[in-house]
Structure 1
Amino acid sequence: MMKIQFYQTIDDHLLKYAVIVSKYKGQWVFVKHKERTTYEVPGGHREAFETIEQAARRELYEETGASSYKLFPICVYSVTGKTRVNLSGQESYGMLYYADIHEFSIKPHSEIEKVYFFVDLPVSWTYPDIQPHLIQKVQKSIV
């Protein structure tokens, strides 16, 4: 079972992931990985040379092609439990962002097959035990 927790801050070196809950013209932005049939919010691993914000900006561009947006830090989150990207199940930390996207350019070639826009949140999630909690946190923060 997944355990999701939220923090205001944490030691920067512990931040391994950036997740960017996004909207474009009032619609939720989701992506579909080439090897999956489910939807997920943009995000991914932080590279060794990056700040966590640089990772968020890189992932948002690589996965959606977003070229003009405002990025807002929401909070640190952690996930405890085994996932596709955390086989140990130990607590892992990421930074949650919200992006208000104004414009897209051509999406670079990546593992993402397509970008989707939803008025209502999708029901077929890649990480159903994690993503809804992150989106709910963003919704409470941007009201």
Structure 2
Amino acid sequence: MVYRKKNFILGQLENIEFVVILTRYQDKWVFCWHKKRKSYENPGGHVEKGETAMQAAKRELYEETGITDCEIIPLWDYEQPWDDGIHKNNGRFYLAIVGSLGELPDNEMEKIELFDSVPENFTYDREDAIIDLQMALNILNAWEKH
């Protein structure tokens, strides 16, 4: 059985353990190529002890893309069930609007690339990721209209 993530209103969940940063640069989505997994991912990762979710989002974005010139907007929270169907992790999605790309630090990511949508070779559930990008675009479009 596949346990799908469940989205929640921003701030509704406590104990945010993970962050995912949907990253937009020049009307394209930024994805990272993971060296070991040999697939594309959104920037993101664990919230470290003593760190806020926003601090983790800024750190992970830099570590995995080299990007520092951006505005980061919190979008929504999510709950990701484990494969055992009992345990779960809480996370938060962010949208980064990037002004300029930076130099990629030496870490688990080999490169970043720009796409119109979720690349075919995506580490996680591609169908969920496509929905996430559309939700983020809807929020961004609504924001820009005001």
Query: For this structure pair, what is the TM-score category when the shorter chain's length is used for normalisation?
Result: 0.7 to 0.9
CA displacement at 1:2 relative to structure 2: 2.4
Q: Is the 8 A contact 2:76 2:94 kept in 1?
A: yes
Please identify, of 59-68 and 106-115, the stretch whose mean Cα deviation from structure 2 is larger. Answer: 106-115
Structure 1 CA distance for aligned equivalents of residues 85 and 42 of structure 2: 23
Question: Aligned AA for 1:90?
Answer: H
Q: Is the 8 A contact 2:118 2:129 kept in 1?
A: no
Question: Aligned AA for 1:105?
Answer: G
CA displacement at 1:11 relative to structure 2: 4.6
Q: TM-score, normalised by structure 1?
A: 0.87
Q: Is the 8 A contact 1:41 1:131 kept in 2?
A: no
For 2:81, the equivalent position in structure 1 comes to 80
For 1:20, the equivalent position in structure 2 comes to 21
Q: Structure 1 residues 34 and 137, CA, compared in 2 at 3 Å: closer, same or farther?
A: same
Structure 1 CA distance for aligned equivalents of residues 57 and 118 of structure 2: 21
The number of equivalent residue pairs is 138
Structure 2 CA distance for aligned equivalents of residues 24 and 30 of structure 1: 11
For 2:71, the equivalent position in structure 1 comes to 70
| Superposition misfits of 4+ residues, deviation over 4 angstroms | none
For 1:142, the equivalent position in structure 2 comes to 140
Q: Secondary structure at the match of 2:135?
A: helix
Structure 2 CA distance for aligned equivalents of residues 37 and 88 of structure 1: 27
Q: Is the 8 A contact 1:3 1:81 kept in 2?
A: no
Structure 1 CA distance for aligned equivalents of residues 67 and 31 of structure 2: 12
Q: TM-score, normalised by structure 2?
A: 0.85
Q: Is the 8 A contact 2:117 2:133 kept in 1?
A: no
For structure 1, the 5+ residue unaligned runs are none
Q: Is the 8 A contact 2:65 2:112 kept in 1?
A: yes
Q: In the alignment, does 2:124 pair up with 1:127?
A: yes
For 1:61, the equivalent position in structure 2 comes to 62
Cα deviations by residue, 1:70-90 (Å, 9 ceiling, x for unpaired):
1111011111133xxxx7762
Q: Secondary structure at the match of 1:66?
A: coil
Please identify, of 105-114 and 63-72, the stretch whose mean Cα deviation from structure 2 is larger. Answer: 105-114
Q: Quote the sequence identity (%).
A: 31
Q: Secondary structure at the match of 1:94?
A: strand
Q: Secondary structure at the match of 1:59?
A: helix
Question: Aligned AA for 1:22?
Answer: T
